[in-house]
Structure 1
Amino acid sequence: MTFASAAATPDDLSLSDRLCRHIANTPYDALPEACREMMRRALLDGTGVIWAASGMSADAAPFLAIAAGQAAGPARILGTEMQVSAENAAFANGAMAHALDYEDAFDAAPSHPNASMIPAALALAQEVGADGRTLLTALAIGCDLVCRLGLSLRRPMEAGGWYPPPIIGAYGAAAACARILGLDERRTRDALSLMLCQATMPGAIKHSRDTNIRAIREAFPAQAAIHCARLAAGGVTGFDAPIEGRDGFFDLYAGGEYDGGVMLDRLGDWFHGQMLSFKPWPSCRGTHAYIELAIGLIHRAGIDASQIARIHAGIDAVTRMLIDPLPRKQAPAVAIDAKFSIPFTIALAAVRGKVTLDDFDAASLADPDVLAMAALVAPVEADAPGWPAGSGGFLAVELKNGEMLRGEFATPLGSPERPLAREQLVAKFVDCTGRARVPLAPDRARQLAERILAIDTVDDVRQVFA
């Protein structure tokens, strides 16, 4: 439904106005401790992944080169010694935030709420010298907005030819930047309006075999978010209702089909960022259940490749993009496509017993054992008899002797139901920062991790990331 039928609220504000009042005025003290802790972890995890990409992602290198060629400034390009303007730091760090596909996710409405927001908000916070409470509050509010947008959609954005994650993520990034600049309700609405003029990502990102745009896509909304907030602060006037209004967000991206009640349900009391998932493996979240199943059913069971006749992977409408077209997904040409491949990640897990940052290099993409295993993977529709539907994964390994090994996970490792412990996230951060262009020693990385996990106690976030 559209929100127009229920636009009036108890205080007679539109949906956009209610959201902007929430973004501009919600205090740090209103955040539940569970939300604060989750956002601390998101900041730790997100910055760690960026650090790793600075040393590992060739795809992001052109973005770093452009940023580095600009004037010096107060915001750091993570993993390097370079400091540039907030916009250029957001541009470079944004390119790295998803480059390794290792950042957090929101499983309930598949997205990466923080991939463009953390680079943008952190860079702007360094420029203005924001305190840790302001940064954490901005992250919590922006993350929640992204999740609410995703959950409220009643027509998939893909139906209009869009690629949703970086589009909806852009609005959370703009909201966070507006909050860091201290914009009032009206100026926050202007910032969201300006993002409506810039946020885009075509579905073509999924279809070309050799493109790497999928890896570096978050550079664009991260940089745009800072521009939008600055322009709004400078007096650029936006639209009356950029979210639910005529030709606004929901009209443009979902044909006006959305649930306004979801957007406002417990707004200010419940923050969806409390339900983030953190990745144990550096690949698309949709591959994780299959990785876990392949490790258990094949690798740990000691099943040799010569014993396997076929691997049946149950898929649904969401995971279909991770297996189609099958020949390309069985032999991906570039790392980011391999990370978005159920057959290839199953093969890595089955053959090597692990899926790490080291398993998507050129040698891995050409590994004959991995490719042979990937060639055995075939899809089965999740609604077929015997295959349950859900957000997890379903695997059946058919052996040449006729035996069938089956397994399923409704919720993959790293989800709120099966979370990674704080210590595991610190270990991931240490590993990631050790792979940076300018690597951190393990002891120094652990010290930095503890400072990030106490970000809301610092008076100036520059003290942490200097």
Structure 2
Amino acid sequence: MRGLSDAICRQVAEFRAAALPPAAAEAAKLALLDATGVMLAASGLSPEVQPFVSLAKAGGSGPCGVLGTGISATAPMAALANGAMAHALDFEDAFDRSPGHPNASLVPALIALAHAEGPVDGIRYLTALALGGDLSCRLGLALRQEMEQGGWYPPPILAGLGAAVGAAKLLGLDATATRDALSLMLCQSVMPGEIKHSQGTVIRAVREGFPAQGAVISALLAREGVAGFEEPLEGCSGFYALYAGGKFAPEDLLEGLGERFHITELTFKPWPSCRGTHAFIELALELAARHGFGPRDVLAIEAGIDRVQQMLVEPLARKQAPATVIDAKFSIPFCIAVAIGQGGVDLDSFSASALRDPALLDLSGKVSAIMDDNLGWQRGTGGRLAITLADGRRLEASCTTALGSPEKPLGSERLIAKFVDCAGRAARPLAEDKARALADRILDLENCADVGALLRA
């Protein structure tokens, strides 16, 4: 295992943009489109991000934009604010196989550096995004002990390490400095699992602000010559020792490195809630449409879940009546209730008033869960639903993967429509024609001479 970090950082530093596979470039463009739209929407819809935006503004003017607000800030502070927006609505892309959100801190970090270090052309930007996102996915795939065993919450930790490497690539750092950036990110890369258990906190919503800012700081300090560790990943007290008891598979990190990019396997969310709730939203909508029942017809609902989805139903009383918007988005009972009670799930579905809606709370209170790890789906991505109606009928459906996955993709047109809807909800909304024009330019990013200028406008 010795030399593993060196091998990875050397490959990243020496990777030439011309070698980026077309499929990886296309996936990177879709990731940027989706992430930018979600951040724009959060600027106008999420009160949880406002302290981060205010702090960025108070930190003084700089070359970087806080998306959707017209505020300028320094690179670290812009990354903090945009990173908080990236997950605030729980609408960003996901990597189901780990699972994780490889772009939630990476894209905000790269946007900040594209503003600060410009001009950064589209090919350079896409290459950094593809390499950083791929490493985040690989870090998760290589785990042979769940990080949760140590009390950690993996997605922001994995995403932050990938973001640091992507930021190093954007800055053009050599292999040693890239390893330094990875090491410096390891010094900041923490996220306790307590965010899953605390009822009142909204940290779970804005969590990606911290790794996004850390990635920018790590790459900039590495460029200034701050030395890191020789073995940040494989060392006796490195990443895998600290977070996974030293249990990992190096081959999952190295196999196809620079040739196969896991960001081509991303899931893009059709609904703004935790990925583990999506199968149940899809099944609830499908059963309601097929059988024509309404909320008042429902007697009981049984959700068949796996171990990953357990956090979305426990403690059951709390998940049936969530106290915060982000907790509602991490609740299978409440998401099922929204799907049936509102006839759909969108950015208007989760609000303070929805959390107090007696009809939704009544329906959510009828949901129970049964654990079954042998249901045949990938961790947290499938589900089984059984709905008992007052007339005695029992309706059942199941799926192994929910809409938006590589097996059931949304398609570019639906992603563009999602972007337009999100951009129209920004603190400074974009008109539909301007949003569509921006989407077209993002999807043609390889011909963009200055990504920072494009996104600043």
Give TM class, smaller chain: over 0.9
2:109 aligned to which of 117, 120, 144: 120
1:83 aligned to which of 72, 81, 85: 72
Deviations 1:407-436 (A, max 9, x none): 111111000011011111111111001001
1:321 aligned to which of 303, 308, 311: 311
The alignment yields a C-alpha RMSD, in angstroms, of 1.2
1:299–1:350 CA contact under 8 A, matched in 2: no
Deviations 1:338-393 (A, max 9, x none): 00000000000011111111111111111111111111110011247xx5554311
- Quote how far apart the aligned CAs of 1:299 are: 4.8
Correspondence for 2:395: 405
Distance 1:297 1:438 in 2: 38
Give matches, 1:290-309, under 5 Å: 290-309=280-299
2:85 maps to 1:96: yes
Correspondence for 1:277: 267
2:450 aligned to which of 430, 452, 460: 460
Correspondence for 2:339: 349
| TM-score normalised by structure 2 residue count | 0.97
Distance 1:52 1:300 in 2: 32
Correspondence for 2:41: 52
Correspondence for 1:366: 356
Tell me, which stretches of 5 or more residues in structure 1 are unaligned?
A: 8-13
2:242 maps to 1:252: yes
Q: Which amino acid aligns with 2:257?
A: L
2:122 maps to 1:132: yes
- Quote how far apart the aligned CAs of 1:399 are: 2.5
Correspondence for 1:37: 26
2:279 maps to 1:289: yes
2:143–2:247 CA contact under 8 A, matched in 1: yes
Q: Which amino acid aligns with 1:82?
A: I
Tell me, which stretches of 5 or more residues in structure 2 are unaligned?
A: none
Distance 2:33 2:352 in 1: 29
- Quote how far apart the aligned CAs of 1:300 are: 4.8
2:376–2:400 CA contact under 8 A, matched in 1: no
Distance 1:110 1:22 in 2: 24
1:262 match: secondary structure: helix
Distance 2:49 2:373 in 1: 39
Correspondence for 1:11: none
Correspondence for 2:405: 415
Distance 2:444 2:6 in 1: 32
Distance 1:328 1:27 in 2: 50
Deviations 1:190-244 (A, max 9, x none): 0101111110000100001111000000010000101101111111111111011
Distance 1:383 1:212 in 2: 30
Distance 1:29 1:410 in 2: 37
2:14 maps to 1:25: yes
Distance 2:53 2:296 in 1: 45
Deviations 1:3-46 (A, max 9, x none): x3xx4xxxxxx110111012111112212111111110000000
1:433–1:439 CA contact under 8 A, matched in 2: yes
Correspondence for 2:371: 381
Give matches, 1:199-210, under 5 Å: 199-210=189-200
- Quote how far apart the aligned CAs of 1:117 are: 0.5
1:406 match: secondary structure: strand
Distance 1:305 1:58 in 2: 30
Q: Choose 292-301 or 278-287, whichever is displaced more.
A: 292-301
Deviations 1:80-110 (A, max 9, x none): 1111111111010001000000000001111
**Fraction of identical pairs, as percent:** 54
Q: Which amino acid aligns with 1:51?
A: L
Correspondence for 2:325: 335
Distance 1:111 1:383 in 2: 20
- Quote how far apart the aligned CAs of 1:402 are: 3.6
Distance 1:348 1:462 in 2: 38
2:60 aligned to which of 54, 63, 71: 71
2:190 maps to 1:197: no
2:15 maps to 1:15: no
Q: Choose 450-459 or 88-97, whichever is displaced more.
A: 450-459
Distance 1:89 1:456 in 2: 24
Q: Which amino acid aligns with 1:34?
A: A
Distance 1:334 1:301 in 2: 32
2:304–2:384 CA contact under 8 A, matched in 1: yes
